[in-house]
Amino acid sequence: MRIFLDDVYFIKESDYDAFVLSMVRDSTNRKTGEVTKKETPVGYFSRLDFLIKKYAQIKAIKNTSNNATLKEYIDNYQQQVDRIERMLESKC
């Protein structure tokens, strides 16, 4: 089972009673130059809420400029959490 959070990140179950936050990235073959999609695990989590927090952290970091203040980072993090909560509410 895969639950896509956006175009890049998704949740999948592991065989060990854990949730896996994974991402899809482009992988280029050095010899042929062929580009393929590759799944890469970001982390393994025993609880879904821990996975969601990690995803929100990753997205907040990516959406915050290099010279951001702590307040800007926290605002971006909260925006991600709010977006995820809205997404979950609309699916239930």
- The tally of domains found in the chain comes to 1
- pLDDT tens track, the chain, 92 positions: 888 888 999 999 888 889 999 999 988 988 898 999 999 999 999 988 899 899 999 988 888 878 888 998 899 899 888 888 888 777 65
Provide the domain limits for residue 52.
Answer: 2-91
- Prediction pTM value: 0.77
* Nearest alpha-carbon partner for 9 in 59, 49, 78, 50: 59
User: Which residues, listed in sequence order, are joined to residue 44 by a DSSP beta bridge?
Assistant: 20
pLDDT of residue 92: 57
47, 51, 56, 58: CA torsion to nearest 10:
150
